[in-house]
Amino acid sequence: MVKETTDIIYSIVDIETTGGKFNQEKITEIAIFKIKNDGNISIYHQLINPKKKIQLFVEKLTGINNIMLKNKPVFEEVAVDIYDFTKNSVFVAHNVNFDFRVLRNEFSQIGKKFNRDLLCTIELSKKVFPEMKSYSLGKLVSNLGIKIKNRHRADGDAKATLDLFILLKSKISQKELDKYIRKSKWVNF
Protein backbone atom coordinates (compact mmCIF):
# COMPACT_ATOMS: atom_id res chain seq x y z
CA MET A 1 0.00 0.00 0.00
CA VAL A 2 1.38 3.39 -0.99
CA LYS A 3 1.44 6.00 1.75
CA GLU A 4 -0.36 9.23 1.17
CA THR A 5 2.13 12.11 0.96
CA THR A 6 0.32 13.75 3.86
CA ASP A 7 1.30 10.76 6.03
CA ILE A 8 5.04 11.10 5.45
CA ILE A 9 7.15 11.21 8.59
CA TYR A 10 10.68 12.60 8.41
CA SER A 11 13.56 11.64 10.69
CA ILE A 12 16.20 14.37 10.64
CA VAL A 13 19.47 12.70 11.63
CA ASP A 14 22.95 13.84 12.55
CA ILE A 15 25.78 11.67 13.79
CA GLU A 16 29.26 12.29 15.12
CA THR A 17 31.96 9.69 14.58
CA THR A 18 35.45 8.71 15.64
CA GLY A 19 36.83 9.77 12.27
CA GLY A 20 39.15 7.41 10.46
CA LYS A 21 39.30 5.50 7.22
CA PHE A 22 36.24 5.17 5.00
CA ASN A 23 33.80 2.62 6.43
CA GLN A 24 35.89 2.25 9.57
CA GLU A 25 34.34 5.23 11.38
CA LYS A 26 32.28 4.40 14.44
CA ILE A 27 29.38 6.45 15.81
CA THR A 28 30.01 8.41 19.01
CA GLU A 29 26.74 10.37 19.09
CA ILE A 30 23.41 10.33 17.26
CA ALA A 31 20.50 12.74 17.36
CA ILE A 32 17.20 12.27 15.54
CA PHE A 33 14.33 14.76 15.34
CA LYS A 34 11.27 12.95 14.01
CA ILE A 35 8.65 15.32 12.62
CA LYS A 36 5.15 14.35 11.60
CA ASN A 37 2.91 16.32 9.25
CA ASP A 38 0.96 17.70 12.20
CA GLY A 39 4.21 19.34 13.35
CA ASN A 40 4.65 17.00 16.32
CA ILE A 41 8.37 16.45 16.99
CA SER A 42 9.92 13.53 18.89
CA ILE A 43 13.60 13.47 19.81
CA TYR A 44 16.11 10.66 20.19
CA HIS A 45 19.62 11.56 21.38
CA GLN A 46 22.34 9.19 22.53
CA LEU A 47 26.08 9.14 23.16
CA ILE A 48 27.56 5.80 22.05
CA ASN A 49 30.73 4.01 23.10
CA PRO A 50 32.53 3.32 19.80
CA LYS A 51 34.98 0.83 21.36
CA LYS A 52 37.58 2.65 19.28
CA LYS A 53 39.85 5.64 19.84
CA ILE A 54 38.46 8.97 18.64
CA GLN A 55 40.85 10.85 16.36
CA LEU A 56 42.36 13.92 18.03
CA PHE A 57 41.07 16.42 15.44
CA VAL A 58 37.54 15.02 15.85
CA GLU A 59 37.83 15.24 19.64
CA LYS A 60 38.87 18.90 19.33
CA LEU A 61 36.05 19.64 16.87
CA THR A 62 33.23 17.95 18.78
CA GLY A 63 34.46 17.98 22.36
CA ILE A 64 33.57 14.29 22.56
CA ASN A 65 36.29 12.07 24.01
CA ASN A 66 36.65 8.41 24.90
CA ILE A 67 36.46 9.12 28.64
CA MET A 68 32.97 10.65 28.17
CA LEU A 69 31.86 7.53 26.30
CA LYS A 70 33.43 4.86 28.51
CA ASN A 71 30.18 3.97 30.30
CA LYS A 72 27.79 4.71 27.44
CA PRO A 73 26.03 1.91 25.54
CA VAL A 74 27.68 0.36 22.51
CA PHE A 75 25.84 0.55 19.19
CA GLU A 76 24.37 -2.94 19.47
CA GLU A 77 22.61 -1.90 22.69
CA VAL A 78 20.81 1.03 21.04
CA ALA A 79 20.34 -0.37 17.52
CA VAL A 80 16.75 -1.49 18.10
CA ASP A 81 15.84 1.93 19.52
CA ILE A 82 17.30 3.69 16.48
CA TYR A 83 15.69 1.23 14.08
CA ASP A 84 12.28 1.58 15.70
CA PHE A 85 12.50 5.36 16.07
CA THR A 86 13.20 5.84 12.34
CA LYS A 87 10.90 3.08 11.10
CA ASN A 88 8.38 4.17 8.41
CA SER A 89 10.05 7.56 8.00
CA VAL A 90 12.21 9.32 5.44
CA PHE A 91 15.84 9.56 6.62
CA VAL A 92 16.86 13.21 6.22
CA ALA A 93 20.36 14.58 6.77
CA HIS A 94 22.66 17.34 5.62
CA ASN A 95 24.90 15.20 3.40
CA VAL A 96 22.65 12.18 3.78
CA ASN A 97 25.12 9.86 2.06
CA PHE A 98 27.59 10.21 4.96
CA ASP A 99 25.18 9.83 7.88
CA PHE A 100 23.24 6.99 6.28
CA ARG A 101 26.37 5.13 5.15
CA VAL A 102 27.93 5.23 8.62
CA LEU A 103 24.69 4.24 10.36
CA ARG A 104 23.97 1.49 7.88
CA ASN A 105 27.51 0.20 8.30
CA GLU A 106 27.02 0.02 12.08
CA PHE A 107 23.87 -2.06 11.54
CA SER A 108 25.69 -4.28 9.05
CA GLN A 109 28.45 -4.98 11.59
CA ILE A 110 25.89 -6.45 13.99
CA GLY A 111 24.25 -8.49 11.24
CA LYS A 112 21.21 -6.25 10.72
CA LYS A 113 19.84 -4.59 7.60
CA PHE A 114 18.90 -0.91 7.66
CA ASN A 115 17.03 0.58 4.71
CA ARG A 116 15.21 3.89 4.60
CA ASP A 117 14.09 6.33 1.95
CA LEU A 118 16.59 9.19 1.86
CA LEU A 119 16.43 12.96 1.51
CA CYS A 120 19.47 15.26 1.47
CA THR A 121 19.05 18.83 2.67
CA ILE A 122 22.13 19.88 0.67
CA GLU A 123 20.50 18.74 -2.58
CA LEU A 124 17.19 20.32 -1.60
CA SER A 125 18.91 23.57 -0.56
CA LYS A 126 20.59 23.83 -3.96
CA LYS A 127 17.14 23.61 -5.57
CA VAL A 128 15.41 26.08 -3.24
CA PHE A 129 18.34 28.49 -2.70
CA PRO A 130 20.47 28.25 -5.89
CA GLU A 131 22.16 31.59 -5.17
CA MET A 132 24.01 30.43 -2.04
CA LYS A 133 27.80 30.47 -2.19
CA SER A 134 28.16 27.62 0.32
CA TYR A 135 25.95 24.73 1.29
CA SER A 136 27.93 23.67 4.34
CA LEU A 137 25.52 23.45 7.26
CA GLY A 138 27.12 26.23 9.31
CA LYS A 139 27.36 28.77 6.50
CA LEU A 140 24.00 27.91 4.94
CA VAL A 141 21.93 28.18 8.09
CA SER A 142 23.79 31.31 9.16
CA ASN A 143 22.95 32.95 5.82
CA LEU A 144 19.32 31.92 6.29
CA GLY A 145 19.10 33.31 9.83
CA ILE A 146 18.92 29.90 11.52
CA LYS A 147 20.84 29.65 14.78
CA ILE A 148 22.96 26.63 15.68
CA LYS A 149 23.46 25.87 19.33
CA ASN A 150 26.01 23.20 20.19
CA ARG A 151 27.72 23.18 16.76
CA HIS A 152 29.52 19.98 15.74
CA ARG A 153 27.46 17.96 18.18
CA ALA A 154 24.72 15.67 16.90
CA ASP A 155 21.88 17.38 18.78
CA GLY A 156 22.88 20.90 17.74
CA ASP A 157 23.49 20.04 14.09
CA ALA A 158 20.35 17.88 13.86
CA LYS A 159 18.23 20.71 15.32
CA ALA A 160 19.70 23.17 12.79
CA THR A 161 19.04 20.66 10.01
CA LEU A 162 15.45 20.28 11.27
CA ASP A 163 14.97 24.06 11.17
CA LEU A 164 16.50 24.16 7.69
CA PHE A 165 14.26 21.30 6.53
CA ILE A 166 11.13 23.04 7.84
CA LEU A 167 12.15 26.21 5.96
CA LEU A 168 12.88 24.27 2.76
CA LYS A 169 9.60 22.37 3.02
CA SER A 170 7.71 25.67 3.31
CA LYS A 171 9.20 26.91 0.03
CA ILE A 172 8.56 23.89 -2.16
CA SER A 173 5.48 21.86 -3.06
CA GLN A 174 5.08 18.36 -1.65
CA LYS A 175 5.14 17.03 -5.21
CA GLU A 176 8.49 18.74 -5.84
CA LEU A 177 9.83 17.60 -2.46
CA ASP A 178 8.85 14.00 -3.25
CA LYS A 179 11.20 14.11 -6.29
CA TYR A 180 14.13 14.45 -3.88
CA ILE A 181 13.22 11.39 -1.82
CA ARG A 182 15.14 8.37 -3.06
CA LYS A 183 15.58 4.75 -2.14
CA SER A 184 18.77 3.77 -0.38
CA LYS A 185 21.22 2.31 -2.89
CA TRP A 186 23.87 0.60 -0.80
CA VAL A 187 23.60 -3.16 -0.53
CA ASN A 188 27.02 -4.14 0.86
CA PHE A 189 29.97 -2.27 2.29
Residue 10: is its pLDDT beyond 60?
yes
What's the pLDDT band for 38 if we cut at 50, 70, 90? confident
For residues 25-53, b (16+ Cβ closer than 10 Å) or e, as one string? bbbbbbbbbbbeeeeeeeebebbbbbebe
Task: Report the percentage of the chain scoring pLDDT > 90.
Answer: 91
Residue 3: is its pLDDT beyond 70?
no
Q: What residues have CB less than 8 Å from 145, skipping those under 6 apart?
A: none
| Eight-class DSSP state of 179 | T
The Cα 109–Cα 67 span in angstroms is 24
Of 73, 64, 74, nearest to 18 by C-alpha is: 64
What's the pLDDT band for 24 if we cut at 50, 70, 90? very high
Identify whether the C-beta of residue 48 lies closer than 8 Å to the C-beta of residue 15. no
pLDDT tens per residue across span 134-167: 999 999 999 999 999 999 999 999 999 999 999 9
Q: What residues have CB less than 8 Å from 50, skipping those under 6 apart?
A: 17, 18, 26, 27, 28, 69, 74, 75
Number of other residues whose CB lies within 10 A of the CB of residue 18: 21
Per-residue model confidence (pLDDT) at position 2: 43
CA-based diameter of the chain, in Å? 48
